[in-house]
Amino acid sequence: MATSKRTKSEWRFEQFIGNLLRVGVILATILVLVGGILYLIRHGTEVPNYHFFRGEPAEFRTLTGVEISVSSGRRRGIIQLGLLLLIATPVIRVGFSLLAFIRQKDITYVTVTLVVLLGLIYSLIG
């Protein structure tokens, strides 16, 4: 059985990535929870109309729109910001992993991670 020895730098990077994912998910959860509670306080007694589908308002389709919505105190904007943070957390993790593999000069992992990152970015933008 082969044992892999990690350098102190690799161990610190793994700890950083783990903390990044943990903090990102916790912050996203808090934002969605707070926004959801505030939304239910205001709109919890409304009866939904399921006869018509209304997509997401245009203001929530851009980062600027979400930022304006949050800064104006809109509850749905807070929820949307939490969801964006939840989506961004693993994308940021892949970006940091790419930087680590570049630093290690591991061409195979750089290539694979770059393809994954480009796929994630394309799926978010396209």
pLDDT in tens, 4-23: 677 888 888 889 999 999 99
The per-residue pLDDT for 4 is: 63
At how many degrees (to 10) do helices 63-71 and 75-104 cross?
Answer: 130
Judge whether 97 and 113 are in contact, CB under 8 Å.
yes
How would you write the pLDDT of the chain (126 residues) with one tens digit per residue?
Answer: 445 677 888 888 889 999 999 999 999 999 999 999 999 999 888 888 888 887 778 888 888 889 999 999 889 999 999 999 999 999 999 999 999 899 989 999 999 999 999 999 999 886
